[in-house]
Structure 1
Amino acid sequence: MGQVDAVKPLSRRGPERRYLVIAPSRDEASTLRTTLDSLLRQTLPPAKLVFVDDGSTDETQAILAEYRERMPYLDVVRRVDRGVRKVGPGVIEAFNEGLGTVDLSQFEFLCKLDMDLDLPDGYFEGLVAKMDGDPLLATCSGKPYFREAATGELVSEHIADEFAVGMTKFYRVSAWREIGGFPVSIGWDGIDCHLCRMHGMRATSFPDPELRFIHLRPMGSSHISLWHGRMRHGLGAWVMGTPPLFMLAATVYRLNKRPRVVGAVAMLLGYLQAWRQGVRRFDKPGYLAFVRSYQHLALVIGRTRAAERMRQRAAQGGRAPSLDGAMHGHR
């Protein structure tokens, strides 16, 4: 069990517009100040920030001590050092431990936040406005960019519009509860978006310039290497329920993103290894069939239209549209 530092009272801004940030982190001292500074600049600050130190061995605790006076809403949960950074399920385990220290009913929104980001000043206020504008919106985010080391150019990480990114997974609390919380699984940040659609809700990342943020460690690079990160992405796609035809199409699409060949090959290899080894896929009643129908449909009419059509059918309680029916309707 984690050890919680002295608990501070919640800020007093009324029950509305209150959002809780839970930030699982291990050994991210090199980027931690940048992310904390971007939180301090928010036009709509968090009501509570629970920082879950997952056994850091660097200067994380010293840096947090520097920010305590400026962040009265900061609580720190310290976990025992497991000796290794655990991604995927390990991140959600740490997140859940942090969540267990607060009363979620006091908040309207919930965010799982990575500590290697530089967020624009109006980021969370912008996400709340998006939520207010669409009552069916369960989770959302902006689009991540990373800075090219050689040129300083900002490069998009090419996130599909139908997914809210895991690094700033912002939820309506009621929707998060409806899907049963985050799955403790690799690929959790894609699985949850599929679950939202299965419940008739929307999951979205918005391209609005004011919601773009900088990812200080490019997505898919992992803490070990880019090859390892892309292999893990392929494994996650398998666990998430991605069918082979869609995975092949995604691999071809990946050739348009740098590093082109290496990234695509590693992603496909991770998927094929998981398939060959019989890695268990995430499942709950109807889930795998839903994902398969959605992704096959997306190959015909595009991801955005397919996601909305599947969501609407789920909301109406109908079965997912067949591929043949989709092709007929698209002619």
Structure 2
Amino acid sequence: MTPTQTANTSAAPSRKYLLVTPCRDEAKYARRTLDSVVNQTVLPTLWIIVDDGSKDETPQILKEYADKYPWIKVVTRGDRGDRKLGGGVIDAFYAGYDTINPDDFDYVTKLDLDLDLPRGYFEELMARMEANPRIAAASGKPYFTRDGKQISEKCGDETCVGMVKFYRTSAFKQIGGFVRELMWDGIDCHRCRTLGWIAVSWDDPKINFEHLRPMGTSHKNWWVGRQRHGFGQYFMGTGLSYMLASCTFRMFHPPIFMGSMAMLWGYLKSMFKRNPRYGDAEFRRFLRRYQWNCLLFGKTKATRDLNAAQAHIWNPGRSIPAR
């Protein structure tokens, strides 16, 4: 009997999963990611890679792999002049996602092209999600290498990380997918909780992975990248007290001190300029309540209590109007 069969030999659960990868100028890292996917213990049903106007050797590398593996499909977009974070990345994601019928897949994934995943990554995530049907989105933890050491990117357990968002398709459709703004990868996880779903990441060697380009460095430099995080937190609706606590927590995480200061400056600059915030006022109130509970009781307890409190509204078959 195989591990995916039950004692009464019932059929194994369906594990058809889709990968969608927006990328631009990733020649330096692409082969590492491509190789880590083609060597997975359970292969994707389809992998759509959206080349978002690359000027380096990325298109040639993608063609090489697409010619070899029939389940890899490349979608090419025109050059729009520069790497555009936030909304631009999600625009590219949807350029691939909109070419398929999501109902053909059990899981859908937004996957970056600068990761090195362990061989059993997707198989392990599917097994955990099969064991808990309330899990909407899940991931391992990202680490990067510096001076020969693996350094955690310090992502909370209550979020599925943005560089590899592995979603149950039904949940992805129910939350309305990704918003096309900075902090899309935080809004989606909180949106899951508003509907009774669970978003989670685990710090486990089975599913931890190497982020070849550390978070916050993909556009220009550390300072710009971390400022962008502050802009995004303000847009999402994060309160100032929570932002101060978050910056304090990250103060001794590389780049020491300066990374936290850049995040805080990005947030404060947005606040002083009265930049627009995410338009769902009820969502922002939900977020603030959760963040205050995190400050008062700790994030682990606050998340556990919220997930328990939201269980009664979880309805995986519910139809949500398009947002």
TM-score surpassing 0.5?
yes
Q: How does 1:225-244 map to 2 (within 5 A)?
A: 225-244=221-240
| Alignment correspondent of 2:117 | 119
- Give, in whole Å, the separation in 2 of the partners of 1:285 and 1:83: 34
- Give, in whole Å, the separation in 2 of the partners of 1:65 and 1:178: 34
| Alignment correspondent of 1:258 | 254
**Gap runs ≥5 in structure 1:** 1-13, 318-331
| Alignment correspondent of 2:29 | 31
Q: CA deviation at 1:285?
A: 4.9
**Structure 2 residue identity aligned to 1:32:** A
**Structure 1 residue identity aligned to 2:206:** E
1:272 to 268, 283, 288: 268
1:173 to 169, 193, 209: 169
Q: CA deviation at 1:79?
A: 0.6
- Give, in whole Å, the separation in 2 of the partners of 1:283 and 1:306: 25
Is the CA contact (8 Å cut-off) linking 1:15 and 1:107 kept in structure 2? Answer: no
Is the CA contact (8 Å cut-off) linking 2:196 and 2:310 kept in structure 1? Answer: yes
CA-to-partner distance for each residue in 1:91-141, whole Å, 9 max, x for gaps? 111111111111111100000000000000000001101111111100010
Q: CA deviation at 1:313?
A: 3.0
Q: CA deviation at 1:64?
A: 1.2
* Structure 2 counterpart SS, 1:120: coil
Q: CA deviation at 1:256?
A: 2.5
| Alignment correspondent of 1:7 | none
Q: CA deviation at 1:15?
A: 8.8
1:283 to 267, 272, 279: 279
Is the CA contact (8 Å cut-off) linking 2:227 and 2:263 kept in structure 1? Answer: yes
Q: CA deviation at 1:68?
A: 2.1
TM-score by length of 1: 0.89
- Give, in whole Å, the separation in 2 of the partners of 1:86 and 1:197: 28
Q: CA deviation at 1:316?
A: 3.2
Q: How does 1:42-81 map to 2 (within 5 A)?
A: 42-81=40-79
2:89 to 78, 88, 91: 91
**Structure 2 residue identity aligned to 1:233:** H
Q: CA deviation at 1:16?
A: 1.6
1:128 correspondence with 2:138:
no
- Give, in whole Å, the separation in 2 of the partners of 1:282 and 1:50: 29
| Alignment correspondent of 1:222 | 218
- Give, in whole Å, the separation in 2 of the partners of 1:146 and 1:71: 28
**Structure 2 residue identity aligned to 1:265:** M
2:182 to 160, 177, 186: 186
2:158 to 151, 157, 162: 162
- Give, in whole Å, the separation in 2 of the partners of 1:308 and 1:87: 32
Identity of aligned residues (%): 47
CA-to-partner distance for each residue in 1:276-328, whole Å, 9 max, x for gaps? 111111132510000000000100111122123223333435xxxxxxxxxxx
Is the CA contact (8 Å cut-off) linking 1:15 and 1:106 kept in structure 2? Answer: no
TM-score by length of 2: 0.91
Distance 1:284 1:314, change over 3 A: farther
Distance 1:285 1:314, change over 3 A: farther
Is the CA contact (8 Å cut-off) linking 1:198 and 1:311 kept in structure 2? Answer: no
CA-to-partner distance for each residue in 1:132-155, whole Å, 9 max, x for gaps? 11111000100000010xx21111
* Structure 2 counterpart SS, 1:210: coil
Q: CA deviation at 1:222?
A: 2.6
Distance 1:230 1:142, change over 3 A: same
- Give, in whole Å, the separation in 2 of the partners of 1:274 and 1:308: 31
Q: How does 1:305-316 map to 2 (within 5 A)?
A: 305-316=301-312
**Gap runs ≥5 in structure 2:** 1-11, 314-323
Q: CA deviation at 1:231?
A: 0.4
Aligned residues: 303
1:302 correspondence with 2:266:
no
| Alignment correspondent of 2:145 | 147
Distance 1:309 1:283, change over 3 A: farther
Q: CA deviation at 1:70?
A: 3.0
- Give, in whole Å, the separation in 1 of the partners of 2:175 and 2:303: 17
**Structure 1 residue identity aligned to 2:258:** V
Is the CA contact (8 Å cut-off) linking 2:63 and 2:74 kept in structure 1? Answer: no
- Give, in whole Å, the separation in 2 of the partners of 1:147 and 1:162: 24
- Give, in whole Å, the separation in 2 of the partners of 1:303 and 1:254: 15
- Give, in whole Å, the separation in 1 of the partners of 2:281 and 2:304: 21
Is the CA contact (8 Å cut-off) linking 1:140 and 1:171 kept in structure 2? Answer: yes
Is the CA contact (8 Å cut-off) linking 1:24 and 1:114 kept in structure 2? Answer: yes
